[in-house]
Amino acid sequence: MTVVLIVALIVAGISLYDYFSARNWQQVTSADRNEIVFADRNKEYGAYTMRRDYDKRMVIILVSFVATLGLTFGIFNYIKSIPEEVIDIKPVDVTTIPPAKPDEELPPPPPEPPVPEVEKLVAFPPPVIVDVEVDTEPKTQQDVESTTVSTKDQEGSDDSFNAAVGPTETVVEAPKVEQIFDAVEEDAEFPGGKPQDFVSSHFNGDAAQDVEGKIIVRFVVELDGAISNVEVVRGLSPEANKEAIRVIRSMPRWKPGKNNGKAVRSRFSLPILIGE
C-alpha cells in the first residue's frame, strides 16, 4: 500500500509541476490570451467558459486525488494497527475425565444344533436273488426256427380304434369384420366423373316436388367398391330422402380407399342439391 501511495504522489507532483510551469501565452487556458481572443465577443460562448474555468477544475481534481490517496492510506494504517483479538483457550484437565466404562459382558451364543448323520448310500447295491416260480416254459430252439418272417405289413382292423369318447362340438370361427375408416390416405373414387353427375341424371324429380335444399347421404365403400350402409345424415322430405338412397345404391362399384397402398373400407359423405 505504501508503494502505491508513493507512486501516486509522484505522478500528482509531476502533473502539478507540468501544469504550473507551462502557463504561458502558448497555452489555450492562458487568461491574458482569452481576454484578447474574446474581446468584444460573446463571452457566454461555451469555449470561453471552458478555458476560463479549466485551471480551477484542474486544481480541484488534483486536490481531490491527493486527498483520496491520503484518506485511503490513513484508513489502511488504522485497520492495520487494530490489535487482533486473542482467544484464551484454557487447557483441559484430563484428570477430571472419568474413565471409560468397560464393555458389558455379552451372553454366550446359543449352542449350535447337532448335525444330523448322513445316511450311508451304496452306489451299486448287490443283486438280490429270489426264487420265483415261472408257469410258462421258455421256447425251444425248434419253436423259434419254425416262426415265419414276412416282408409285408399286416393290415389291422379299425374296430373302435379311434372311436370318440363322447359327443364332439365343431367350433366355427366368426368371420373377421374389417374396420371402417372415416379418413384414409387415398379417398375412394367414383368411376367415370363426379358422383353428383350420376345422381342428378338418375334422380327422379317427382319425388322432390315443392322442396329444395341439400341432402347429405353417408355410405360405406367396401373393399370391392360396392356401396353399403347407406343413410341420410341431413334430409328434406321422406320421398326425397328415399329417392336419394335408391340412387346411391344403384351406383356402379367405386374404386375403394387405401391406406399404405392396401384397400380398406371407408366412409364417404355425398351432398345432393335439390331444386338449386
Residue-wise pLDDT tens digits, 21-35: 655 555 666 666 677
Residue-wise pLDDT tens digits, 213-225: 888 999 999 999 9
Kindly state the DSSP code that residue 118 receives in the 8-state scheme: P
Q: What does the longest C-alpha to C-alpha distance in the chain come to?
A: 169
Helix H or strand E segment including 262: strand 262-263
d(CA 187, CA 259): 9
- Contact between 210 and 226 under an 8 Å Cβ cutoff? The reply is no
| C-alpha dist (Å) from residue 9 to 12, 20, 67, 78, 217 | 5, 17, 10, 20, 102
Residue-wise pLDDT tens digits, 99-113: 666 656 677 788 888
Q: Which amino acid is at 133?
A: E
d(CA 149, CA 79): 129
For 180-274, CATH number?
3.30.2420
Q: Using the predicted structure, report yes or no on whether residue 144 has a pLDDT greater than 60.
A: no
**End-to-end Cα, the chain, rounded Å:** 102
Query: At 71, is the pLDDT very low, low, confident or very high (cuts 50, 70, 90)?
Result: confident
Domain regions of the chain by residue span: 2-81, 180-274
**Has this prediction a pTM greater than 0.85?**
no
Lowest mean pLDDT across 50-54, 127-131, 271-275: 127-131
Residue 4 φ/ψ, nearest 5 degrees: -60, -40
- Residues 6 or more apart from 186 whose CB is under 8 A from it? 257, 258, 259
Mean residue pLDDT across the chain: 75
∠ Cα 218 222 226 (to 5°): 85
